[in-house]
Amino acid sequence: MNDELIQIIEDLKKSIYEDMGAETSPNEVEQYVSALLLCLGISGRAKDLPAVMESINIYAFIDMYDYVLSAWNDRHGMEACRKIAEHSAETVNGFSWKNKFTFQVLLLENLLLLYQTNRIEIFAQYYDRLDLDILGGHIYEYPEFYAGVFSELTDVVHDRNGMRMGQMLLDLLPHIDDASDADYVLCLAKLCESATCCALYDEMSGYYERLGEYRECCYADMAYLFLLTDLYMAQTAAEKNTHGDREKAEHLLNQIGEHISDVEDSELREELQIKYLLERSRNAIAGGDYVSALRYTEDGYSVCKSSMEVHAEYLLLFLNNMAIAFVNQGDAESCKQRLDEGLSVISEYHLEESTGAAYLSNTYSSLANDAADETSKEQVRNLLGKCRPEDVSFRDIPFVLNSIKMNLRAGNAGRKEKTLILNILEHIEKLLLQEKPNELWLSYLDVRTAYFIVVKDARQSRLWFDRMYEFSQRCFPDMEMVIDVICDNLSFVRRMFSMQELKSLLFTLVRITPMRLTELVLYQEQKSMFARMSRINLFFHIVVSFVYDGSIVCSDVELLEIFGNLKSICPDILSARRECLSDCDRKSYEELCRVERRIIELDMARYFGHETDKEQLTELDDRKRSVENKLYAKAQPKVMGWLSADELIGRLPTDCIYIDYLQFVTDYEKPTEKNMRYAVLTVVKTEQGCRIYRQPVIDAYEVRQLCNIIDKRTRGNRSYDRKQSALGWLYDVSASRKLYDILLRASVESCHVQPRSDRLIISGDIELQSFPFDMLTTSRGSRLLQEFNVCYVNSMRSIHHDVYVNHDEGALVIGNPQFTLDKEKVLSGENEEKKLSVLPLSKVEVQTVADFLGAGIKQKIAARKNLLEEVHVPILHIATHGDFRQDEHFDPSAGPFEYDYPMRHSCIFLAGANDWIVSGEETDHYGNGVVSAEEICTYDWDGVKMVVLSACLTNTGDISYTDGLIGMHTALCAQGISACVMSLWEVDDFAAAVLMSRFYQNLRTMEVTSALWEAKKYIMTVTNGELADAGWYGEQRIRRIGLAADEMRRLSQLPAGIRLFEKPVYWAGFVAEI
């Protein structure tokens, strides 16, 4: 290699002597040769290079250097030149130069060579050392050299240095003899691109205006460049974010679209079309027109897919914009598919460091929040180090703010990063000051606040928090971002505010919750709705914890209002959504319900181990969005209001004790099962007035253990006539009495009101939402049932008291379904452990109920699920199997877009269920035989006042700390049912028949809760002789209602004084919710 280079240099010497003759001395030529040999690493000491270079003419050396490289390229090609360029750059940059100008010229030459040889990584390594201030005073010494270098470097560099090089080139062109109009057009086009990248809108407008002077004479030959700068101008106009400029942007884009065909070169035309469609999609997203955004992104996607090797990075940008458009239309599944495809493209084409990858990762992490995978988070965090504050454009602001916030959360804020972050934020503020107030301002203020919280500057944190609060209150009154700051920084918030300031802040934010709930009604995508609802619930729990740990002080009345307005909000949202959509367009709403039902039915397959029909689900999802878009465009939800304490208390019946339990965490930074507590609020309402008592907090961990023990032992004690051992009895009574002391004693025995009410209304939370209080043992040794009529409510605001039901208006009684239609298929099918056993004795219950109501029975094959789609009678009674199912393969950590629908877990089963469970195949007549809680929300049950669900596990569901219990009872509340009677476990058929007979008999003269209370007390105390006297052992009755004859005859022979149903397992499982 060295020999060949030396030969090229010798040929160069010979050429110089021939051209210059006596004008060039041998010594001078040798100095240039020595410099070349040193620079190329052929001979001499590298450290002598600076001294040698200072003794020669730098421009003459550059010409000789170019000659050598050109000759080497002719012989060995570009790859060989890359190695020389790398070595030369390393040599030049390896020393300290006294003559800064000489170094800058050599650096400029080396940067050009690195660019020409495609050594971009090394180019970026040395580019920061370029100082155009030093070169600026010398460019007219050799205009052709500088013009040539600047012309090429401005192809790749679009930052402020690139702008300066472009401006210098523009200044040099008049001094270049053969400069043409085309050179001016090319230079101005590059300046427009750099000005757009640097968000220098005024400069961009100036260059664009100057370029217009050449349009008439050069457009035909340079249509691509003119249309491309039109695109930059449209982007600049859109970036300014004012109405007039947006109109200009739209006008320019329309013109570009009409003239793309003017570009004759097919490759340039395709690139222009891609950039045009990309800008169109961005503008549509910015304007909230997601339908158009999808149209443009899909067109651009198709163009890119046809030339993936060339346009893979553009494809990432289209996939990113498609994902944003889909998620804003409520289509999380399609959003996930596009982002996943983008991640695959990044991996396949090694685009990890590309702009497209950065945008895609930013969108992924923004949508996923904390659930994003670590690789995507890291890519977004790394963007911060690549940012130059002055290069951040208006369009980059969300992108950059997200990167800053993720670095702050990750603790990546050292001294260097802090300085960079502050510089970027100051630049962003300057950009935002040019615009009208918008959501970006709020995001900016949020990040400013987060920064000072991270660096523990309480004064600045408070200053920026106050600015964010004031701005949000003025422009975004839902205060969502303000609340997020509080939830994410509890310890620091406590230090930022005095006790009185903190109370004022929190209570102000709490009281706007009804407005936030009203907004939730219009959330089309369930995942987003539940996520935001959980955030609202979290804030509610945090406020309660602040009250109980002494961070703020509030009165019992204020606490009652918080509990009454914010607890268990899910049914309110679902009910308001149903009412809002059905009122605005009944026909479209009914269509939406049909589509939603079908989606739920198909998706239920995964809860039973079957494959889902993804193609059909996709079609249905598209149809659902189409109908939803039509409905939501004109839906006007009723504004929810804040209820005062007087209004809440007014919903309670007179002469009652109301107890509200709310579970909260004592340490949100380290939440564990053992630092959970129950807040307890008791309201005693009599004719004389109302008293509110704030009870001491309860250890929720101890409550959970006792509930589990009592529940397990109660369900296991099912013998009619076998006595429990004395030790077992003492153990059960001790546990029951202890739980009573913890949960109830202070509320029901310490309220000094005489006479004491016998009506107890409980609003439980978490495990207490599905626990039967009335089986607890009181301090007097009796069951709570014997002293109190216990009923349950979702929250104080949702109470329907004194619900009377008129039998004469009709009833629908469904029970004893024939789960298996095709015995051969079911016996040979899979899912053996999931098959449903027959319920031969549920006929007992439904026949008894039907006898009292004078109604027909839908049983066996007639017990079809489609009977439930429309019910308009006051009483609906269903006796069947119930269950709580989960997708065994669902992994919540699998990705941020994975979502399991909580109201699909609770379900009941009707005719044909086993056939579907074993095969996954539906029938036209019976469907899948499974009815989930979510499906019930789509039914039309106008006119139904009471629902009785006599099926195990119907009052259980998904439990989450912030949202409480979500299941079948949620669906019934959302349907607006005034009273629900449900079972917590599978109840004995004989006991259920006796209880239901008594219950419906009582309903003739009693309201629902009293009717159930009396019925439960009756079966707890009824003797075998009294059952015989009532005719339960009569042969005719046994045959009619379907009781097992042999067992009934055995029971009839037991002693008359025995109480068959005395144990809680027979009666405690039935609960009433009003």
Band the pLDDT of 721: cuts 50, 70, 90: low
Tell me how many degrees the CA angle 267-271-275 measures, rounded to the nearest 5.
Answer: 170
- Report pLDDT digits (tens) over 1019-1049: 999 999 999 999 888 887 777 666 667 788 8
Instruction: Please give the average per-residue pLDDT across 68-89, as a whole number.
Output: 83
570-574, 779-783, 845-849: the lowest-pLDDT one: 845-849
Looking at CATH, the fold of the domain delimited by 807-1022+1059-1073 is given as Rossmann fold (3.40.50)
> pLDDT at residue 414 above 80?
no
pLDDT of residue 772: 94
At 19, list the tokens: 């051209």
659, 807 Cβ separation under 8 angstroms: no
- Report pLDDT digits (tens) over 898-931: 557 788 888 999 999 999 998 888 988 899 999 9
Band the pLDDT of 1: cuts 50, 70, 90: low
pLDDT of residue 24: 58
14-28, 615-629, 669-683: the lowest-pLDDT one: 14-28
> pLDDT at residue 372 above 50?
no
Band the pLDDT of 244: cuts 50, 70, 90: very low
Instruction: Please give the average per-residue pLDDT across 962-986, as a whole number.
Output: 87
517, 642 Cβ separation under 8 angstroms: no
pLDDT of residue 283: 84
pLDDT of residue 817: 93
799, 888 Cβ separation under 8 angstroms: no
- Report pLDDT digits (tens) over 785-803: 999 999 999 999 999 888 9
Report pTM.
Answer: 0.76
Band the pLDDT of 740: cuts 50, 70, 90: very high
Among residues 991, 1037, 985, 1049, the alpha carbon closest in space to that of 1015 is found at 991
pLDDT of residue 1041: 61
Band the pLDDT of 947: cuts 50, 70, 90: very high
- Report pLDDT digits (tens) over 555-573: 999 999 999 999 999 999 9
Average pLDDT for the chain: 86
Among residues 566, 477, 466, the alpha carbon closest in space to that of 514 is found at 566
Decide which of 440 and 256 is more confident: 256
- 3-state per-residue secondary structure call for 396-453: HHHHHHHHHHHHHHCCCCCHHHHHHHHHHHHHHHHHHHCCCCCHHHHHHHHHHHHHHH
Q: What is the C-alpha to C-alpha distance for residues 18 and 33, in angstroms, rounded to an integer?
A: 16
- Report pLDDT digits (tens) over 295-338: 999 999 999 998 888 899 999 999 999 988 887 776 767 787 88
Instruction: Please give the average per-residue pLDDT across 568-593, as a whole number.
Output: 92
Residue type, 806: N
Band the pLDDT of 545: cuts 50, 70, 90: very high
Band the pLDDT of 287: cuts 50, 70, 90: confident
pLDDT of residue 966: 83
How many helices, marked H, and strands, marked E, lie in the chain? Answer: 48, 16
At 226, list the tokens: 């003119």
At 809, list the tokens: 């208006």
Phi, psi of 1073 (to 5 degrees): -120, 130
Which stretches of 99-242 are DSSP H helices? 100-116, 120-127, 132-136, 143-153, 160-172, 181-197, 201-211, 215-218, 223-240
What spatial distance separates the first Cα and last Cα of the chain, rounded to whole Å? 93
pLDDT of residue 243: 43
Band the pLDDT of 896: cuts 50, 70, 90: very low
Q: For strand 656-665 and strand 759-763, is the pairing parallel, antiparallel, or unpaired?
A: parallel
Q: What is the C-alpha to C-alpha distance for residues 957 and 965, in angstroms, rounded to an integer?
A: 6
Judged by DSSP in three states, 967 sits in strand
> pLDDT at residue 490 above 80?
yes
> pLDDT at residue 404 above 60?
yes
Decide which of 653 and 402 is more confident: 653
Band the pLDDT of 629: cuts 50, 70, 90: confident
For the chain, percent of residues with pLDDT exceeding 70: 90
Residue type, 214: Y
- Report pLDDT digits (tens) over 984-1002: 887 787 888 899 999 999 9
151, 187 Cβ separation under 8 angstroms: yes
At 880, list the tokens: 């069947």
Q: What are the residues whose beta carbons fall under 8 Å from the beta carbon of 50, sequence distance 6 or more? A: 95, 96, 97, 98, 99, 102, 103
Which helix H or strand E contains 857, and what residues bound it?
A: strand 857-860
Decide which of 176 and 242 is more confident: 176
> pLDDT at residue 408 above 50?
yes
813, 850 Cβ separation under 8 angstroms: yes
Decide which of 181 and 475 is more confident: 181
pLDDT of residue 899: 59
Q: What is the C-alpha to C-alpha distance for residues 875 and 948, in angstroms, rounded to an integer?
A: 8
Dihedral sign computed on CA atoms, order 498, 500, 501, 506: positive
> pLDDT at residue 3 above 60?
yes
> pLDDT at residue 1009 above 90?
yes
> pLDDT at residue 92 above 70?
yes
1023-1052 burial, b at 16+ Cβ within 10 Å, e below that, comes to bbeebeeeebbeeebbeebbbeeeebeebe
Tell me how many degrees the CA angle 182-183-189 measures, rounded to the nearest 5.
Answer: 90
Q: In sequence order, what are the beta bridge partners of 659?
A: 682, 762
At 324, list the tokens: 């944003």
The residue whose two tokens read 């009003």 is 1074
Instruction: Please give the average per-residue pLDDT across 113-138, as a whole number.
Output: 87
HSE at residue 3, side-chain half, CA atoms within 13 A, is 0
At 771, list the tokens: 């626990």
pLDDT of residue 788: 95
Decide which of 288 and 817 is more confident: 817
Among residues 456, 458, 373, the alpha carbon closest in space to that of 408 is found at 456
Decide which of 706 and 892 is more confident: 706
According to DSSP, residue 787 is labeled T
